[in-house]
Each structure stands twice: as structure tokens, then as C-alpha cells.
Chains A and B, each alone.
Chain A
Amino acid sequence: MTEPLVIDREGVDALISALIERGYEVVGPTVRSQTILYDTITSTADLPVGIRDRQEAGTYRLEDRGDDALFGYVVGPQSWKQFLTPSGTVFWKGLRTEGGFETVEPEEPPSYAFFGARPCEVAAMKIQDDVYLPVEDGIYTERRRKSFTVAVNCTEPAATCFCASVGTGPDVTEGFDIALTEVLGADHHYFLAEAGTDRGTEVLGSLVARGARDEEVVTARRLVVHAADHMGRTLETDGLQELLYANLSNPYWDEIAERCLSCTNCTMVCPTCFCSTVEDRQSLDGSGAERVRNWDSCFTLDFSYIHGGPVRSSSSARYRQWLTHKLASWQDQFDSLGCVGCGRCISWCPVGIDITKEAAVIRERDVRRVAVGTPAVKEAVE
């Protein structure tokens, strides 16, 4: 990273303009339907100024902070995957010809600048890179190549956040072009701005900015450390993969299933969930066809359908699939944990199922223990 600079709110506006000038469609957080949603922004006035989010299991509310913070909230139900791998994308178009059919070249996707990406989201994009980049799917790869990321380090985690447990925040260390840290006090309001790439350096260089003073850097860093120490939740990751692999037949999955509605919210809001399906369409006269990629979820009965029925017909098996994939098998598949600790699945689950709690209960009720609840055994494991 380059030497940190300091800009003010006007500087942030200038940053947004600089990105627009360079041909990016700048998308960032806005308030709509009492929720923070990502949309096109043209200035800081479009941001959720002075807004804070209150999140808990099954709960999401916005409230007034009473100040002018531009980034005084964390994450809403959306993640950047809606831009990088949007549901409904036509990835192939064909036209019938004499000899059969031919492919119609797809349109160029837009260049996005993700403005206000949280460290957990930046980590999630890196994780999705590991899924998509090796395969060149023609959707994600195009958009990712053209995207610019302005990250915002977190200084006030929500009660549902646990990025510190999984090592993805509350600040970014890689995967961004520019990182901002907002420092708001009674008599000051500035943004530490750091570049993570040459592109970022170039853009920052075009702004009116000064080098950060030592105490400004220290203050910004301290806010981040404070955030790390005040996470709403923790996920115990020690031996997590072995724990889950060993507990596939634990009766506790059935208990979770009694609460889980298989509504698929968690997979929709999760920034790393990548499962998709393909829809085939044909023009009315049969001359043209399209193949469309839509988001899908392992919670649906259709998802694992073969030979007249689903492989995972019980909701217990489907919840187990989601959790064990996210926290265990993902590690074998992509060499990292699938979860970035953003807490969205906890807030947006209509019945408030909490991934950190469920993992903890399975740890408590680990079937590998000789006698569940024996004081001696409990001590030894703790």
C-alpha cells in the first residue's frame, strides 16, 4: 500500500466523479425501502448519510445516527455478486441456421466501480474469484476484470458481524484498489485514503489530497482495532472442518430443521454462495434460443433432483448441506473457509437461525465425545 492520504467529504465526491470520468458505473450503498441497497451513485449525497443499521438474528432496522457519517453502517441484504454474476444473465444466444445453429456474440458487460465495499465483501469477492476464475464462465470473469473496488474499513460492527473470527476484517489488506477509513469526531471529519493497486494510486493521485499526519493514521487504525474487539459474535474455527465432517449424522440437524423454513434467504444474501441454475428459452417461432443463468439455492427440493426425486429431500439434509459446505467442504474445494463473517444470513433469516450458534451447538454435542456432558470430558475439550 502507498502512503496514506487524507481527504474530506468533498474529496470523496471528487473520487466518485473521477471514477465516473474514467468510464465506471459507480455503485454504492443507498437507502431504499428502509434498507441499505446497492445502486448507482453520483455523489456522496446518494449515500446513507447519518444512517446506522441495527441488526440481530432475524432483525434489520435503520435509524438516524444524528451525525454526518457517510459510512456509519455495515452491510445490507445485498452483496456485490448481484453485479458480478447477476441473476438473469443471458450467457448464450443461438440462432438456427441451415446447418444447425450458431452462437450470437454477447454484449459487452458494464464496468463497475464498487464504492463502499466492506472488508468482508472484498474477501468474499476473492473467494468467488477462486470459484469462477479458473473456469472462465463468461459472466463473472468479464465483469470482474473490468471492476474497480473502493473499500471502506469498518469502525462500528453490527451485532451480527464476526469477520474478526474468520480473518476477513474489519479492515482490508488486499483485493482493493482504494481503501477509505472514515474518522468522524466532534470537530473533524476526514477519510484516510490508501491505494492498493497502481490503478488506485493513479485515481487518488488525481484528487486534491494531502499526506496523512501520523496521529490521523493512528486514530484511524485504532478505530479498526476497536471494531475488531467489539464484534457482535464469534465463530470458533478451531478444528471446524473435522468437527462438521464427523457430525454428519448428528441428530441436531433435525432440530435445526424444525425451525428452518428452507426459504433460501441465507443463500441469496450470502456474498460467497454461488450456486446457479440454467434456464432455457426459445423464441416463439423456434428460430432463436437463449441460455440464462439464474441464482439457485441448495435449499430447494429441485436442486438435487435426479431420477424422479431429490437426493436431499429432508430440510434437515438441506440445511446440513449449506452449513457443511460453507464451513467444511469449501475448504477442501477452494482452500479457504466459505464464510466471511458478514452476518447477513443471521439478520435475514426469518426465524433467526444463527450460523455461529449452530456451529457451537454441534461442537457442544460432538458425537465423537465418549460421554456427552461429562465434566471431565467437557474440560478436556475446552
Chain B
Amino acid sequence: MSEVFDLIVGHPFFAGMTHDQIKIVAETGELVSYHEGQTIFSEGTDAVGPLLILSGDVALELQTPGHGPQVILTLHSGDFLGWSWLYPPYRWTYDAHVHSNAEAIRFDGPRLKEASEVDPALGYELMKRFTEMLVNRMQSIRIQLLDVYSTPR
């Protein structure tokens, strides 16, 4: 656990949170590693909790009939992966596929939520940060949708 704490205490995502709060979060985390080609989770399976990518590249993919897997977004060192653990039905909405060997910290979603119920201040700090990341992600996806580089005719 203390290894996880050491890995996340300096992470920008947790900047501004107290060490006690970060300890609680670290307690729910475990170090995991994946090799290239591995699937971290598949669309439709139980969403247990978020992952913080420490190194490597992970692609978010959707399987489409006739087109195979299509990459919507790639995430890299420092990015959080996964939101579906926050709300019912707690199922992943895409595949997370490792493009190059990755190290990550997998956090236990239910334990994070329980800790937040007990300590709403901790919950609020986490929510603020997750929603900010979500908003940034949405902005980026909006721009991708706009297809800004396409030829106007």
C-alpha cells in the first residue's frame, strides 16, 4: 500500500488533497501491469474501479460489426481510465486494449465510494477531480466530432 501511496502522492490529479485523504485512496489501490495486446477490460463487463496509467499506452476501442475494433481515444501515462464504476449499471462501455506494455494502479471502486460516504469531504475532493477530467475529455471529444481537418466543399 505504501508503494501505491508513494506513486500517487505527487500526482497532479491529487494535488491539493491532504496526505490523509490520499492515504485512504492509496489503500484501495494495487499495482498492476499489462503487456502489449492484453485487454484490461471489455465492453459490457463489470466496472470495478478506475485505473491510473503510470506508463504505456492504452486504447479505448469499440467493436463495430464489419469494421473490427475502432479506437476512439488513446490514454497514456498520467491519465485515468474508466468512469462507468461511478454510476449504475456499473458496466464498461468500451474495450480497453493495451497498445504498449503498461503499468497502472487499479483502484477498488466500491471501497472508494464507501470511504466517500463516510467522509463526504473526501468524496467531494474526488468528485471535483473526476468531473474536471470528464469535462476535459468531453471537450476533446467534441473537437474530434467536429472533424476540423476535413475538406470544406
Chain A residues packing against B (C-beta within 8 Å): 307-309
Total chain B interface residues with beta-carbon distance under 8 A: 2
Q: Which 4 A-B pairs have the closest CB atoms?
A: A308-B152, A307-B152, A308-B153, A309-B152
Question: Which chain B residues in 14-47 approach chain A with CB under 8 Å?
Answer: none
User: Please, how many angstroms separate the alpha-carbon atoms of A115 and B152 in the complex?
Assistant: 50
| Interface bits B132-153 vs A (CB < 8 Å: 1, else 0) | 0000000000000000000011
Closest residue on chain A to residue B148 by CB atoms: A307
A308 contact set on B, CB distance < 8 A: 152-153
Min CB gap A83→B, angstroms: 40
Min CB gap A305→B, angstroms: 11
B153 contact set on A, CB distance < 8 A: 308
Closest residue on chain B to residue A309 by CB atoms: B152
Min CB gap B88→A, angstroms: 43
Closest residue on chain A to residue B153 by CB atoms: A308
A307 contact set on B, CB distance < 8 A: 152
User: Please, how many angstroms separate the alpha-carbon atoms of A91 and B153 in the complex?
Assistant: 30
Min CB gap A294→B, angstroms: 25
Of the A-B pairs whose beta carbons lie under 8 Å apart in the complex, a sample of 4, sorted by A's number, is: A307-B152, A308-B152, A308-B153, A309-B152
User: Please, how many angstroms separate the alpha-carbon atoms of A370 and B13 in the complex?
Assistant: 39
User: Please, how many angstroms separate the alpha-carbon atoms of A216 and B100 in the complex?
Assistant: 96
Min CB gap B150→A, angstroms: 10
Closest residue on chain B to residue A306 by CB atoms: B152
User: Please, how many angstroms separate the alpha-carbon atoms of A309 and B153 in the complex?
Assistant: 10
Min CB gap A306→B, angstroms: 9
Closest residue on chain A to residue B152 by CB atoms: A308
User: Please, how many angstroms separate the alpha-carbon atoms of A82 and B153 in the complex?
Assistant: 36
Min CB gap B151→A, angstroms: 9
Min CB gap B44→A, angstroms: 40
A309 contact set on B, CB distance < 8 A: 152
Question: Which chain B residues in 104-153 approach chain A with CB under 8 Å?
Answer: 152-153
User: Please, how many angstroms separate the alpha-carbon atoms of A309 and B152 in the complex?
Assistant: 9
